[in-house]
Amino acid sequence: MADPLLATPAGKTRARALGIPFQGRPGPHNAITDVPGLAVGYTTLIEGEGDLVVGEGPIRTGVTAILPRGQAQADVPCWAGHFSLNGNGELTGSWWIEEAGLCDGPITITNTHSCGVARDATIEWMHANSAQFQHGPAWGLPVAGETYDGYLNDVNGFHVTKDHVFAAIDGASVGPIEEGSVGGGTGMMLYGMKGGSGTASRVVRHADQDYTVGAFVQANFGLRRDLVIAGIPMAAHLPGADPYGEDRGSIIAVVATDAPLLPHQCKRLARRVSLGVGRSGSYSGHYSGDIFLALSTANADALRGSREEWDLRALPDARLDPFFEAVVQAVDEAILNVLAVSEPMTGIDGHVVEALDRDRLVATLQAQNRWVAPPGLRESGAGA
């Protein structure tokens, strides 16, 4: 089996395999699923070729489901906080998170015009699968996020159905997960190249205990001329056309940790996503919906069922700096993983989005003395 730090389950080359240098210690899968119990599932829809016929295709879309506690404990909330760097987007459930500091049920991410379907289907799934919903009147305000895939996808064809959402939730699993043109990220673009779904993680040592900070991004933002990798402005090294010519995309980022954090602390982590996004060159343009969620899976017993009092653990605010740093590092790598694994895609009306030129990137890193031999090459003494 390939090293999950270097390749996805399907064998796609991740950012570390290209010699991009990163800071921090990744988890065993370098994925948000390194957070114990957290599961991710996808439904990917790729159908048709040629001219756009609204309602028929071509279809280049899907839905992603993130279950912080897996299917069996989907009705146990998590402490959470959110942050909007630029609000040209949607994240349902945000007001309840702001009010109560709680995130309920599966989290879904899809295309802009399917966000409502994803939200409503999540409630229906909870009603069918959660004891909380099955025993009398209950309500939910699930989190559903979106980014726009209308350059490649028949976005007004409304091809994502509730059954696709159910499949993503039911199929969510732990361990290594696929990246690139999968799930809600199927039709996305990133820095003028093929974008999509990406993930990474960091291990943080605190008081003789290891905690995990995991990040998942649906990356659909930025202009090619602004891309920065390993501190190198890439405009001259990776030339090419920008499909839009202005930053018209978005990014939804979910950060999860098993560290015991309170809602205001989760919100502080969510703010630091902005710094991770900025590392690759984004300035968060007017048309970009850059919205971030952070949650903690700790304190499940305190949040399970009704309580007269909460008995819970929390880290001191003054000890959060390593977690802030981990967020920045994991988000940056998750975004670059999207670029690294994604392949070219042709969508509606013959629109083509090219992939990252991996060979040219490696040559640039080497010429600028920024290339780092991947673990396999490093151990064998090989490499340029």
Q: Which residues are catalytic?
A: 250, 288, 290
Neighbour-count burial of 336, counting CB atoms closer than 10 A to its CB (0-12 exposed, 13-18 middle, 19+ buried):
buried
Residues in the chain: 384
Residues ≥6 apart with Cβ < 8 Å to 278: 284
Tally the C-alpha atoms within 13 A of residue 157's C-alpha that lie toward its C-beta: 23
Closest-CA residue to 110 (of 178, 42, 47, 36): 42
Distances (CA, A) of 160 to 53, 92, 156: 16, 17, 10
DSSP 313-357: ----GGG-HHHHHHHHHHHHHHHHHHHHH---EE-GGG-EEPPP-
CB-based burial, 212-229: b 16+ in 10 Å, e otherwise = bbbbbbbbbbbbbbbbbb
Residue 337 structure tokens: 């993983």
Identify whether the C-beta of residue 190 lies closer than 8 Å to the C-beta of residue 219.
Answer: yes
Strands 228-229 and 209-220: unpaired
| Number of neighbours of residue 307 by Cβ within 10 angstroms | 11
